[in-house]
Structure 1
Amino acid sequence: MGFQEGRNFGRQIRESIDCYKEMFMDYSGLEWKRAKKLSRKFIDVIREYNSDYLEEIRGVADGAELEFEDILALNCRSELVFVGKEFDKADGGCTSIGISKERAANGEAISAHNWDWKTSQRKNMVMMKIHQNNGKPTIFMVTEAGIIGKTGFNSAGLSVFLNALSTNQAPEGIPLHIAMRAIVDCETISEALTMVTRMPLGCCANFMLSHRNGECIHVEIGNEDFDVLYPENGIAVHTNHFCSQRLPIRPRKDTMKYKTPDSFIRRGRALKILEKKEKPITIEDVKEVLKDHIEYPDSICRHDNPKVPEGLRMGTVFSMIVNLGTGDIYFCKGNPCEYEYEHYHI
């Protein structure tokens, strides 16, 4: 399976590596050669977590005719950027929305997400439908070429979106994107919750987990513990700061809220728009939120800020909405204010 990924997306993988060569230097002063060497420290922990993922990474490298450490470093890129201890330069953020069946039109739960990152990665995003022969669900995944886990929705009706979080001490453990792959290999929210918390996570994060049974939760993971946030009145929104009253555990501090102060506005705006809806919330209502420009350019629909150094600019790379009840997926490659959503089905 990994070999097919590498063979089919070799060009995009190489360009993705070029993107992170530049980003590592811009953010952390980390050369790619050293990043590859540092990535090897994750081999044992990935093997312990699930050795199949390590073999898939090896397959991607073989298929793309690259070194194993090139693909390993891509899959550990969130953890490696901490090496330079200058992650405070981060200027990106994501917005995740969950609408449980009680508030959704036709009783069909909705999950949605704007992924804000380096807009140069748009050309290196790939869409895959992965049919597995090991009894695990079929996966619809949108990811950066070469990374085996990211945004996904599977045939069991489970979806996952990610919101970056951070504290003043980098955690150590399973790479973030490996954990995301493990989530879409699960069939229920509780199974996914078990998988993503059974070993320490290499980065603080929030995972929005939603299911066609109509439920959705936010799972905030800190250095030593995690918390689960349930929707209020059927609406769950998360951006890039800790919302749990328990996390982070002292003496850790939430550092992401200083890096992305727009996180508070984005979350507030999404809640304000959705809570005003008197009728059941529809896909079109969610699109309205994802296109919102209050606090432009650091808005829910995020655009590159010309006042920020070019290497540190961020914008909405893609927008995605899932009707969990029907399995319909609406995907927009780029800012949803500029491009149309395309329709797919799991």
Structure 2
Amino acid sequence: MINKELFPIIIASGTPYEIGLIHGREAKKQVDISISTYKAMFWDYSGIRWEDACNYARTFIPTINEYDPDYMEEIRGIADGSGYGIDEILALNVRSEIVLQGSQINSSNTDGCTTFVFTPQVTEGGKTLLGQNWDWKMTEQAGCIIMHIRQEKKPDITMVTEAGIIGKIGYNSAGIGVTLNALSSNMKVEGKVLPLHIAMRGMLDSRTLSDMIRATTCMNLSCCAHYMIASSKGEGVSLEVGPGDFDALYAEEGWLAHTNHFITPRLMYVKDTTRVSLPDSFLRLGRMRTMVRALDHKIRVADIKEMMADHTSYPDSICRHEDVLEPEGKRLGTIFSIIMDLEREEMYFAPGNPCTEEYHLIKF
């Protein structure tokens, strides 16, 4: 069984406000940790006071309401359930955008994840498997939850998220899922922009891959991101979103992997700052490609578990461990590892480094 102190499972249903209320009440401890983590991070690494972060977060309300007013209702429910202000929960949902308002765009505030998709073309049993290792500040691990949301007019959602954030890594009852890699650039989009985690919720509320792409490209994102998306129909797409532009790469050979730098030639003009701050991104991507190509059989879940536990280039490996030689603020570790079976609507979940933590099968 998963340690319920880490990654508690919360089931919510009802109206958007009611879903948020359950989220806020049952994950209050984790919301406390998320707010404490980002309050410190905004100041320590970007020089932004919590009050200023909340003021900045409020500027996104009109855009979020235009995108989908249900999301502000859910955020309001989380606020009421946890006892925080709406602007404070908003600050969590735009935490990536707030960090990038500071002068630093480097590994101290950029996560370093490894994502993948394997389609029936290359998998044993014809599965579509989507997942990643999510690497971030280890202090935030205790602020994470597993949410299962039963919605009235949209697909049901299963996701792993930071408490208080309404869109993250997961899949839905329409058989589609999404993972995330941080990307960054020194280029900034002016005008109306959408927070990347709000876009992720829009993706999880979609019913097809094309709808997922539309959900994250119908407005400019406020910062860069890579989304690996896939469908139980056997398709996978790598979606890179840059400043005011995007590109989608189809899994023509049956699989794709991605780390933390831009890959598509269409976006080669972008000043990619993550590849400077996280040079291990090239090594992790190369290692994934090498391990996949070395297999002499169809890919199994066991093979993916082994890949996610790989320690080549340790500690900045696919299975990432904190580097004690780095300043504390720059240390990253694998907070969790996830492998989603989109047809069966279930996931294998390791609550920490997959080299030591057992994967648990979770299905609702």
User: Same fold judged by TM-score > 0.5?
Assistant: yes
Letter in 2 for 1:56: E
Query: SS where residue 147 of structure 1 aligns?
Result: coil
Query: SS where residue 88 of structure 1 aligns?
Result: coil
Aligned residue pairs, count: 343
Query: SS where residue 337 of structure 1 aligns?
Result: coil
Q: Distance in 2 between matches of 1:131 and 1:265?
A: 39
Aligned to 2:10: none
Aligned to 1:185: 205
**Post-superposition CA distance 1:141-162 (Å, at most 9, x none):** 1100000110111111111000
> What's the CA shift for 1:80?
0.3
Matches within 5 A, 1:29-178: 29-90=47-108, 92-134=111-153, 136-171=154-189, 173-178=193-198
Match for 1:231 among 248, 251, 272? 251
Structure 1 pair 162–183 and aligned structure 2 pair: CA distance change class (3 A): same
> What's the CA shift for 1:26?
2.3
> What's the CA shift for 1:248?
4.5
Q: Distance in 1 between matches of 2:43 and 2:107?
A: 12
Aligned to 1:342: 360
Letter in 1 for 2:50: W
Aligned to 1:202: 222
Aligned to 2:344: 326
> What's the CA shift for 1:120?
1.1
> Is contact 2:112–2:136 with CA below 8 Å preserved after alignment?
yes
Aligned to 1:311: 329
Matches within 5 A, 1:186-335: 186-249=206-269, 252-335=270-353
Query: SS where residue 97 of structure 1 aligns?
Result: strand
Q: Distance in 2 between matches of 1:167 and 1:248?
A: 11
Query: SS where residue 221 of structure 2 aligns?
Result: coil
> Is contact 2:107–2:278 with CA below 8 Å preserved after alignment?
no
Query: SS where residue 44 of structure 2 aligns?
Result: helix
> Is contact 2:116–2:257 with CA below 8 Å preserved after alignment?
yes
**Post-superposition CA distance 1:33-82 (Å, at most 9, x none):** 11111111111111111111011111100111111111000000000001
Q: Distance in 2 between matches of 1:36 and 1:326?
A: 40
> Is contact 2:133–2:319 with CA below 8 Å preserved after alignment?
yes
> What's the CA shift for 1:122?
1.1
> What's the CA shift for 1:117?
0.3
Unaligned runs of 5+ in 1: none
> What's the CA shift for 1:124?
1.0
The CA RMSD measured in Å over matched residues stands at 1.2
Q: Distance in 1 between matches of 2:247 and 2:56?
A: 30
> What's the CA shift for 1:187?
1.0
> Is contact 1:92–1:260 with CA below 8 Å preserved after alignment?
no
Q: Percent identity?
A: 46
**Post-superposition CA distance 1:218-247 (Å, at most 9, x none):** 000111211011225212000000000010
Letter in 1 for 2:121: E
Query: SS where residue 155 of structure 2 aligns?
Result: coil
> Is contact 1:171–1:204 with CA below 8 Å preserved after alignment?
no
Query: SS where residue 246 of structure 1 aligns?
Result: helix
> What's the CA shift for 1:311?
2.2
Q: Distance in 2 between matches of 1:270 and 1:296?
A: 14
**Post-superposition CA distance 1:288-325 (Å, at most 9, x none):** 11000011110000011111111221100000001223
Aligned to 2:8: none
Letter in 2 for 1:150: K
Unaligned runs of 5+ in 2: 1-18
> What's the CA shift for 1:327?
2.1
**Post-superposition CA distance 1:97-146 (Å, at most 9, x none):** 11011001111111120000011111111011100012x11100110000
Q: Distance in 1 between matches of 2:61 and 2:172?
A: 26
> What's the CA shift for 1:29?
1.1
> What's the CA shift for 1:170?
3.3
Query: SS where residue 60 of structure 1 aligns?
Result: helix
Q: Distance in 2 between matches of 1:101 and 1:197?
A: 27
> Is contact 2:348–2:362 with CA below 8 Å preserved after alignment?
yes
Letter in 2 for 1:317: I
